Chains A and B, each alone.
Chain A
């Protein structure tokens, strides 16, 4: 055995870890993009299709119900995943340590669920879907900044440049549609801006908080803990409060949703995409870091349009190609980092 062969084997080892990290992150993008098909189709099924577009209160109430039912289905798919992997017992062991460990997943679920998803729906409802999509693209910046300040995650200049190029590419895809949305004198527009901010901060913070919890726990079981808490937040706190303090027929709406087979079919499909997208999301963090994982995950902007075009047979506009070139270039810039850059994701002298 020579030093050279050890060096070569080491290089191969680190390259494999880097490749796995990026592969998981690309799966995030593919499945997140695919999620938009059932996620959008759902709004065209009863009982959601019966809500008047200008009935904002009912729209938000319906969104809360939809998110809760969706989270329960996600939890089922995650249970299936961990059963196959033989990690169900580890899920229980992690969840049980609430005060010191799983509380971080509870916090991650608050950032990712009620803050980011709800914020994104606010941005869609009060300004438009294009604005919501663009603001979400900025979440890796928030994630990377929090990870940097909180536990000193290292972001190389090449990773930062790649991140910027990917965000620019996503913006090119959606920006032309934005002009039609932000015109007009809607007095509630500020709620849309607030929602956009909530989604970027929420998803960015979720990644950083979850990665903190994954220091001492497994990503597969961690994501199941995170969705357990989301189901509880919506089902035990938020929905009962909405039912108690508003006139919205929340209970009737839950029954109408779960008894409508078409709506449930879309929810199950959306949940399968979301469950495994999130699993890949968390797994990528522990191998390549929050900043890189989230930036590559942003490729969902491309996959969402491809899947929607495939199902609606409507081809995207020409600027989609420009955006595509940007995001693919950004991905290559990030992947071209030497594999050694992901051996140690944090500045060890100062992390805490």
Chain B
């Protein structure tokens, strides 16, 4: 059985030092065979939730030139925090 989407994002983050949100979201869209702006926005909100809860944090930011989501939207590079790693262990995701 596939992981639920929030867990999938965390697992993918745990496999890398850091990753841009558009790269991560593209992976997730492929994994769940989804497309369209509704799903892109849902994944972006999920990343915002993970960041607010302290499980991930952003290591870099840049403005979208229209290549990824929308012109002038902020693109974030994320990494899993130590707290995120602990929470993943506690919840059987790591």
Contact = CB atoms under 8 A, between A and B. Distances in A.
Contacts of B62: 1, 6
A307 B80 CA distance: 46
Given A6-B63, A352-B86, A218 B6 contact: yes
B63 A9 contact: yes
B73 interface: yes
A263 B69 CA distance: 49
A190 interface: no
A346 interface: yes
Nearest to A347: B54
Contact of A215 (B5, B61, B87): B87
A221 B34 CA distance: 18
Contacts of B92: 97, 99-101
Interface in B37-94: 39, 42, 46, 48-55, 57, 61-63, 65, 72-74, 81, 83, 86-88, 90-93
- Chain B interface: which size bin? 35 or more
A286 B52 contact: yes
B73 A9 contact: yes
A197 B6 CA distance: 35
A215 to B, nearest CB: 5
Interface stretch (A165-173, A174-182, A234-242, A337-345): A337-345
B1 A93 contact: yes
Contacts of A342: 52
B83 A352 contact: yes
B52 A287 contact: yes
Contacts of A215: 50, 53, 55, 87, 91
B72 A100 contact: no
A286 B45 CA distance: 10
A63 interface: no
Contacts of A221: 4
B90 to A, nearest CB: 7
B2 interface: yes
B24 interface: no
B71 to A, nearest CB: 10
Nearest to B89: A100
A263 to B, nearest CB: 36
A89 B4 CA distance: 8
A348 B84 CA distance: 10
Contacts of B63: 1, 5-6, 9
Contacts of B57: 344, 348
Contact of A96 (B1, B81, B90): B1
Interface string B1-20: 11111110010000000000
A209 interface: no
A313 interface: no
A137 to B, nearest CB: 26
Nearest to A93: B4
A5 B71 CA distance: 12
Nearest to B82: A348
A96 B3 CA distance: 10
A262 interface: no
A94 interface: yes
Contact of B74 (A10, A345, A348): A10
Contact of B91 (A100, A289, A352): A100
Interface of A: 1, 5-6, 9-10, 13, 17, 85-86, 89-90, 93-94, 96-97, 99-101, 214-219, 221, 286-287, 289, 342-346, 348, 351-352
In the A-B complex, the 6 residue pairs with the closest CB atoms = A100-B92, A93-B4, A286-B49, A346-B54, A90-B4, A100-B91
Interface of B: 1-7, 10, 34, 39, 42, 46, 48-55, 57, 61-63, 65, 72-74, 81, 83, 86-88, 90-93
Given A17-B48, A216-B91, 15 more contacts: A5-B63, A9-B63, A86-B34, A90-B4, A93-B2, A96-B1, A97-B92, A100-B90, A100-B92, A215-B91, A216-B55, A216-B87, A218-B4, A344-B57, A352-B86
7 contacts: A1-B65, A6-B62, A90-B5, A214-B49, A218-B6, A287-B48, A343-B52
